[in-house]
Structures are given as C-alpha cells and as structure tokens.
Amino acid sequence: MSFAPYLSFQGNAAEAFATYASIFGGTPQVMTFSEVPDGGPPGLPDAQRDWAIHVSLQTDEDGLLMASDMPPQFGGVPQAGVWVSVTRPDEAAARALYQRLAEAGEETMPFGPTFFASGYGMCRDRFGTHWMVSVG
C-alpha cells in the first residue's frame, strides 16, 4: 500500500489535471458534481455544478494523484499545507520536470545541488500546488 496525495482546488481541478497529464503522462478521470445522482449536494450553485467532485490521474512512473474542487461554502480551502514530492533518477530529468511545474508559477527554492541530493527544487505551480522535485 502507498500514500496517494489528494489535492483541493476551487473550480480548476480538471484544468490542473489536464496539465499534470501532459507533464506526467496518463489520462485524468473526472467526475463533476452534475454527474452525482440526485443533482449533487443541496445548495450547490449552478456555477459550481461543472466543478470536479473527484479527479484521478494514474501514472506509470509516479503512481496515483487525486483531487477535487472543494466549494468554499462547504469549508473547502485550496492547497492548504500540502507538498507533493517527486523524484527522478537523474539531474536532467529532475530539472526538466521542475521547470515544467514551475512554469507560470513561483519558484520557492530554485533547482540545484543540496547537501542531500545532486538536484532539488521547490515550486508552486500556476494552480497553487506545491512541488518538491529531487534527484533520487
């Protein structure tokens, strides 16, 4: 058994996972609130019916990543205190992955050598997901 990160978004989970699929591979599986029997949770505004109640992305190399759009009126807080750690076997692959994730986002710690790895970097992508990328 392994851990599978479950991320929180507010209206852009499907878009984020389409991007993650282009980076990591795989095909995102998306279920929206409008697909829930009986029309979804009571009090859900029409503008949120196309939000994702569940998204998953299974990849060959990195395993399973999951998420949903968490409506703020139900207590949802996007990306509160979560970092996703990903390793690559060599520095070139790790650096390339880091650059794709950091694109249009924010570098928290630029990718480079550290005392524990020949390459390591931290960033927040354009969807608000925090990533730690290392050579392993």
Residues for the chain: how many in total? 136
Domain boundaries, the chain: 1-77, 81-136
Model's pTM, two decimal places? 0.93
64, pLDDT greater than 80: yes
What pLDDT digit, counting tens, does each position of 75-90 carry?
888 887 889 999 999 9
Buried (b) or exposed (e) across 92-106, using 16+ Cβ within 10 A? eebbebbebbbeebe
What pLDDT digit, counting tens, does each position of 91-100 carry?
999 999 999 9
| Dihedral sign for Cα atoms in the order 124, 73, 58, 84 | positive
pLDDT at 79: 85
113 near 66, Cβ under 8 Å? no
1, pLDDT greater than 70: no
Domain 81-136, CATH 3.10.180.10 — does that match? Answer: yes
Domain 1-77, CATH 3.40.50.1860 — does that match? Answer: no
Q: Evaluate whether 1-77 and 81-136 have a shared fold.
A: yes
